[in-house]
């Protein structure tokens, strides 16, 4: 996906072993549609060569404010004016201190100081030893940089080149790419709390058997990511699926419908939007056997008795906050046939303003989908596309509906 199409990024490299990650980051930015201009400090060139970064970016690398290639000899002005953002990755502790005090003794720091602050945002990806990261001076610098408007992308935790382990690693290139994509995304849900359910539930029969369904959770996880990109604080209640947690999303893992009901109930009072994407089992076994159920001498299994699971979406829709308009509830209908008929019936039965319908067997486990939005006024189709594309369209639609109400 060309999530960064039309964006021009100045990628700044400062001294640190994490410069090796900048090569992959440069490639990832370009694959996502951006153009990349690399600017390096002299310290960065001790870890990776300008030749490497030039080959990856397909542009000459700049490393001096005296570069004669610029007709006016002002690369700090020219390069910053062309950029949609300046991303410094890795950003050393020394360079952060330099940014904080407005020092400008090399091209990269000079460019950061000379950039039009209101038009060219500055993003930094710190990279340093764990003790350097934890030092009070570094933490003061980080806080002041953020207060000055710099976007600090955080650090990773793990093994470090020095042999120690802890916070301070530069985030991985794929993580930084997601953060940059999210940074540029519109923010119609800025600051709002969004609660999403995703995946199937698993209803135990005995210690080795259970009842579940074919939901992969991919649509719900895509919605969680899209809501986070839109500026929301997202909590994702996930059934038993093996999917990576979207960047910046708080994840709560559950197994059964009762588990999911309990998790949603605990989070609902803080949410402004609830999107029930999960395929929750309608029924569970009344009594779970303590041991594996065996066939009898005639080869028959004893009959199972079922009881109805709580209706999570209906519970949310009937809550005082939903009835007052403080909580906007969205349900999903995964059907095998007669999608419109069943989606309309489910919307009325659940009492929610919006139901999103899809044909389950056509999308379970896949990366693409097609959605049918059903509300009191009629229907609107979101044509076949990737689940992330549809998730972004759906989140934008939900944001518009909330703005219309409020």
CA distances (Å), origin 353, targets 85, 274, 329 = 39, 11, 7
- Catalytic position from the list 19, 26, 112, 162: 162
Alpha-carbon distance of 400 to 150, in angstroms, equals 29
Alpha-carbon distance of 254 to 200, in angstroms, equals 10
Alpha-carbon distance of 349 to 196, in angstroms, equals 20
Alpha-carbon distance of 7 to 215, in angstroms, equals 36
Phi/psi at 293 (nearest 5 deg)? -75, 130
Residue appearing with tokens 């960065």: 44
162 is catalytic: yes
- Active-site residues: which are they? 162
């Amino acid at each position: 996906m060309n999530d960064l199409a039309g964006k021009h990024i100045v990628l700044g490299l400062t001294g640190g072993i994490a410069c090796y990650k900048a090569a992959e980051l440069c490639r990832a930015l370009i694959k996502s549609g951006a153009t990349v201009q690399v600017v390096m400090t002299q310290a960065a060139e001790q870890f990776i060569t300008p030749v490497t970064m030039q080959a990856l970016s397909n542009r000459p690398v700049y490393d001096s404010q005296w570069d004669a290639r610029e007709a006016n000899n002002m690369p700090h002005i020219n390069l910053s004016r062309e950029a949609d953002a300046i991303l410094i990755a890795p950003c050393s502790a020394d360079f952060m201190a330099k940014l904080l005090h407005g020092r400008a003794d090399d091209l990269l720091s000079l460019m950061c100081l000379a950039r039009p602050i209101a038009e060219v945002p500055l993003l930094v990806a710190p990279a340093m030893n764990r003790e350097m990261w934890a030092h009070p001076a570094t933490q003061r610098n980080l806080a002041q940089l953020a207060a000055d408007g710099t976007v600090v992308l955080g650090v990773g935790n793990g093994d470090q080149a020095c042999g120690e382990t802890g916070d301070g690693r530069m985030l991985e290139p794929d993580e930084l790419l997601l953060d940059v994509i999210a940074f540029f995304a519109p923010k119609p849900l800025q600051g709002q709390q969004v609660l999403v359910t995703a995946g199937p539930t698993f209803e135990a029969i005995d210690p080795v058997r259970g009842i579940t369904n074919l939901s992969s959770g991919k649509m719900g996880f895509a919605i969680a990511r899209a809501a986070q990109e839109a500026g929301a604080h997202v909590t994702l209640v996930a059934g038993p699926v093996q999917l990576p947690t979207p960047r910046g999303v708080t994840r709560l893992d559950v197994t059964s419908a009762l588990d999911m009901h309990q998790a949603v109930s605990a989070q609902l009072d803080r949410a402004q939007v609830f999107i029930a994407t999960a395929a929750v089992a309608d029924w569970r076994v009344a009594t779970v056997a303590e041991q594996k159920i065996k066939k009898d001498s005639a080869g028959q299994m004893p009959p199972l008795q079922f009881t109805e699971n709580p209706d999570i979406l209906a519970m949310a829709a009937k809550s005082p906050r939903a009835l007052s308009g403080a909580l906007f509830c969205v349900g999903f209908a995964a059907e095998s046939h007669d999608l419109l008929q069943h989606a309309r019936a489910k919307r009325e039965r659940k009492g929610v303003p919006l139901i999103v319908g899809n044909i389950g067997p056509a999308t379970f486990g896949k990366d693409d989908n097609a959605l049918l939005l059903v509300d009191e006024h009629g229907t609107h189709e979101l044509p076949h596309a990737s689940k992330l594309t549809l998730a972004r369209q759906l989140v934008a639609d939900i944001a518009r509906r909330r703005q219309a109400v409020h």
